């Protein structure tokens, strides 16, 4: 009897404690999706953590975190390794398809200077549309086979589109649509969820530890990380798209990557781009 | 196709600094493709920079050099407005040449 009453008492105290704890939280803060507040808090986290880094410099990934690397990169930028790809992209972009149309016909403003608006939420379809996806849809609509999402032609095209948008602030909008908010929230959840044998989330490296080394690499901050896409990685000896970055990140933590342009990857890109709103497009980038 | 060579040469009066980027697969011949078949060796064997009829820089390369190699060096002399000739030959006999004005 004595034991049982002790348990009653303890659980009653616990319940009471939980109640008082809950009442100290601002009402409903836990379950309300508030991208504006998220983005503000996200950016503040990085600017507080790295007070010496200039705001626009966050888009330069590891170079914003390390002075030596920054100097090497500036020298490299005189002869950027993505130049060949960029030239190829420019050529491909205006070259007509078999039916005479070009990529220009698929995009607003003929595809020039619009990188900062991608990914966007398509209210008709109820899903996030990335630039890579839009490019392949453009090809398919014109009777051309789609490109691989990870490198080569796709990277060349996005490189050219990013190049024409350099310096424009990322401008992702979340329409007043519960599905758009859900997509954003799903992307955020993916970003912060641990996975893989190494039990890493995206945030483990890119929020908790930017500027730290992971083996020989210096980790880039998540803030502005998508602004530099696509990138030439010396490690890959070639170009890679956002899709390539997501899938290789997942396999590096010994997780099973989703297929490129999976709904969840699109949502992550949506989340990451939204919280980087205001930072300039710097792609195509070059990374070690 | 556009030239495979990008080159920039700048004179400081006494010396000329040269930077070049060359587009080439530089396959070593030791790597297999996705099907498990060896990718045949294909690399630049000799790269030369010629100024005023003389070689100012020669590189004998092999399969150990990275894809799309980058070179930077400086030589004594070289006047602004003069021409610098760059050429390479690979193990399959392919070649490319370009000239750049020293700035």
Q: Quick check: A83 and B19 CB within 8 A?
A: no
Can you give the three-state secondary structure of chain A, one letter per residue? Answer: CHHHHHHHHHHHHHHHHHHHHHHHCCCCCCCCCCHHHHHHHHHHHHHHHCCCCCHHHHHHHHHHCCHHHHHHHHHHCCCCCCHHHHHHHHHHHHCCCCCCCCHHHHCHHHHCCCHHHCCEEECCCCEEECHHHHHHHHHHHCCCCCCCCCCHHHHHHHHHHHHCCCCCECCCCCCCCHHHHHHHHHHHHHHHCCECCCCECHHHHHHHCCCCEECCEECCCCCCCHHHCCEEECCCCEEECHHHHHHHHHHHCCCCCCCCCCHHHHHHHHHHHHHCCCCECCCCEEEC
CB proximity under 8 Å: B 29-88 to A: 66-68, 70
Name the E strands within B2-102: 5-11, 15-22, 44-51, 54-60, 70-76, 83-90, 95-101
CB of A237 within 8 Å of a chain B CB? The answer is yes
Mean pLDDT of the B57-67 span: 91
Comparing alpha-carbon positions, the chain A residue that sits nearest to B5 is A84
What number of residues does chain A have? 288
Tell me the mean pLDDT in the region B4-13: 89
Q: For the residues B62-86, what does the mean pLDDT come to?
A: 89
Q: What is the C-alpha separation between B14 and A136, in angstroms, rounded?
A: 53
Question: Are A79 and B70 an interchain contact pair (Cβ–Cβ within 8 Å)?
Answer: yes
Positions in chain A short of pLDDT 70: 1-31
How confident is the model at residue A3, as a pLDDT? Answer: 55
Structural domain harbouring B80: 5-101
What is the domain count for chain B?
1
Cβ–Cβ below 8 Å for B19 and A78: yes
Is A87 within 8 Å of chain B by CB?
Answer: yes
- Rounded to the nearest angstrom, the minimum Cα separation between B6 and chain A is 8
Helix (H, G, I), strand (E, B) or coil at B36: coil
Paired with B89 in beta bridges are: B46, B95
Catalytic annotation present for A205? no
Tens digits of per-residue pLDDT, A196-223?
999 999 999 999 999 999 988 999 999 9
How distant, in Å, are the alpha carbons of A37, A40, A172, B80 from that of A276? Answer: 13, 10, 9, 45
Q: Do A237 and B67 touch (CB under 8 A)?
A: yes
Decide if B66 and A238 are in contact by the 8 Å CB cutoff: no
Q: Does the CB of B6 have a partner CB in chain A at under 8 Å?
A: yes
Q: Sheet of A285-287: strands edge to edge?
A: A238-240, A231-233, A285-287
Kindly list the residues from chain A whose CB atom is less than 8 angstroms away from the CB atom of residue B64: none
Q: What is the pLDDT of residue A77?
A: 87
Closest CA to A222 of A187, A257, A252, A198: A187
Residues of chain B found within 8 Å of residue A78, distances taken between Cβ atoms: 8, 19
B103 near A CB under 8 A: no
Among candidates B23, B66, B70 on the partner chain, residue whose Cβ is nearest the Cβ of A237: B66
Q: What is the pLDDT of residue A12?
A: 53
- Residue B25 maps to which CATH number? 2.60.40.10
What pLDDT is attached to residue A9? 53
> Quick one: pLDDT at residue A171?
94
In 3D space, the residue among A216, A214, A219, A244 whose CA is nearest the CA of residue A229 turns out to be A244
Does A238 contact B at CB distance below 8 Å?
yes
Per-residue buried b or exposed e for A178-214, using 16+ beta carbons within 10 Å of the residue's own CB: eebbebbebbbebbeeeebeeebbbeebbbeebeeee
Longest CA pairwise span in chain A (Å): 87
Do A238 and B70 lie within an 8 Å CB cutoff? no
Give chain A's end-to-end CA distance (angstroms, integer). 69
Residue-wise pLDDT tens digits, A277-286: 999 999 899 9
């Amino acid at each position: 009897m004595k034991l049982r009453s002790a348990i009653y008492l303890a659980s009653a105290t616990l319940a009471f404690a939980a109640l008082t704890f809950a009442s100290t939280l601002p009402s409903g803060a836990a379950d309300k999706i508030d991208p504006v507040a998220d983005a503000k808090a996200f950016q503040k986290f990085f600017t507080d953590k790295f007070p010496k880094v200039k705001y626009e410099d966050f888009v330069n990934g590891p170079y914003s975190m390390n002075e030596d690397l920054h100097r090497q990169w500036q020298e490299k930028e005189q002869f950027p390794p993505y130049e060949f790809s960029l030239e190829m992209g420019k050529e491909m972009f205006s070259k007509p398809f078999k039916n005479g149309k070009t990529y220009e016909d698929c995009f607003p403003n003929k595809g020039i200077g619009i990188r900062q608006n991608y990914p966007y939420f398509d209210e008709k379809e109820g899903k996030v549309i990335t630039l890579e996806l839009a490019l392949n849809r453009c090809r398919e609509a014109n009777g051309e086979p789609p490109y691989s999402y990870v490198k080569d032609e796709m990277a060349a095209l996005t490189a050219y589109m990013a190049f024409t948008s350099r310096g424009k602030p990322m401008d992702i909008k979340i329409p007043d649509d519960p599905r758009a908010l859900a997509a954003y929230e799903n992307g955020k959840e993916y970003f912060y969820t641990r996975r893989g044998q190494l039990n890493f989330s995206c945030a483990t490296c890119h929020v908790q530890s930017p500027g730290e080394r992971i083996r020989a690499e210096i980790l880039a901050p998540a803030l502005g990380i998508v602004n530099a896409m696509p990138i030439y990685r010396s490690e890959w000896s070639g170009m890679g798209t956002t899709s390539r970055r997501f899938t290789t990140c997942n396999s590096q933590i010994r997780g099973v990557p989703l297929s490129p342009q999976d709904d969840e990857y699109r949502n992550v890109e949506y989340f990451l781009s939204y919280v980087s709103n205001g930072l300039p497009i710097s792609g195509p980038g070059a990374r070690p | 196709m556009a030239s495979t060579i990008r080159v920039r040469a700048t004179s400081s009066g006494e010396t000329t600094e040269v930077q070049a980027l060359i587009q080439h697969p530089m396959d070593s011949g030791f790597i297999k493709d996705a099907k498990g078949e060896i990718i045949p060796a294909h690399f630049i064997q000799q790269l030369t920079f010629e100024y005023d009829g003389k070689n100012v820089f020669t590189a004998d390369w092999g399969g150990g050099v990275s894809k799309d190699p980058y070179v930077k060096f400086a030589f004594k002399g070289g006047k602004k407005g003069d021409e610098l000739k760059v050429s390479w030959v690979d193990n399959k006999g392919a070649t490319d040449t370009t000239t750049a004005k020293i700035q």
